[in-house]
Amino acid sequence: MPIRRLADLLRRPPRRQTPDPPAARMVADQLRARGIRDERVLGAMSALDRRLFVTREFRDHAFEDRPLSIGYGQTISQPFIVGVMTEHLDLRPHHRVLEVGTGSAYQAAVLSRLCREVVTLERIPELARSARERLRSVGAGNVLVVQTDGSSGYSARAPYDRILVTAAAREIRRELLEQLADGGAMVAPVGETLGGPESTQTLAKWTRTGDAFDRQDIMPVRFVPLVEGAE
């Protein structure tokens, strides 16, 4: 097979798999019932078994409507939040996406089914290694996992049509916003990251037009803090 043809195949989103029954019930009860309407997002999440993306001790709880620990002070977001963030990205098949914070790789696996290419950044080596294995197991060949500090993005592959940040910062760095293509959009949580009950965060969306970035607030959220520096 010609090299160019092989590269094109690797960049394509994986074919949609048969819906996984527990995942399909999760989508119906926790996403569709709460207002998520993008059928492509619902279909992608229905086809992925979340049990593959959590540690053994939490596999019986994988489909519950709550975040779960994945070790190293990190969590896999609750299904509803994954659905909300993905829907607000408004993904198209030709898009290139940057994800900051790979974690369990569940969000990256969802994105891989909706766009051409995903570059996902993880600062913790052990999580980066397990993410590659999980993504390989579900056929997500269009995802590149990079073990690095993601707080400033990844300019080596910029610009991106979409950026998704899965941990909260007090504010979004300008250098990360500038890695968006013109017309691109970013979804990220911002706000207090101290972790106490008084901490408040907002899930927001930025849209780039030329050198301007318009912000739209989506909903209140609670995320783990975005930590700078690779381990």
CATH 3.40.50.150 correct for 3-221: yes
Whether residue 229 is predicted with pLDDT greater than 80 in this model: the reply is no
For range 82-96, the mean pLDDT = 98
Q: DSSP character for 225?
A: B
Question: Tokens in use for 2?
Answer: 């010609």
Give the predicted TM-score (pTM) of the model.
0.89
* DSSP-assigned letters across all residues of 118-159: EEEEESSHHHHHHHHHHHHHTT-TTEEEEES--TT--GGG--
Q: What is the mean pLDDT of the chain?
A: 90
The residues carrying an active-site annotation are: 77
Q: Which of 14-18, 39-43, 60-64, 189-193 is predicted least confidently?
A: 14-18
Q: DSSP character for 93?
A: T
Question: Tokens in use for 214?
Answer: 């318009």
Task: Identify the pLDDT of residue 5.
Answer: 42
SS3 115: coil
> Do 36 and 26 form a contact (C-beta atoms < 8 A)?
no
Domain limits, the chain: 3-221
- Note the pLDDT tens digit of each residue in 146-205: 999 999 999 999 999 999 999 999 999 999 999 999 999 999 999 976 655 556 799 999
- Note the pLDDT tens digit of each residue in 44-85: 999 999 999 999 999 999 999 999 999 998 999 999 999 999
- Note the pLDDT tens digit of each residue in 27-36: 999 999 999 9
Task: Identify the pLDDT of residue 69.
Answer: 94
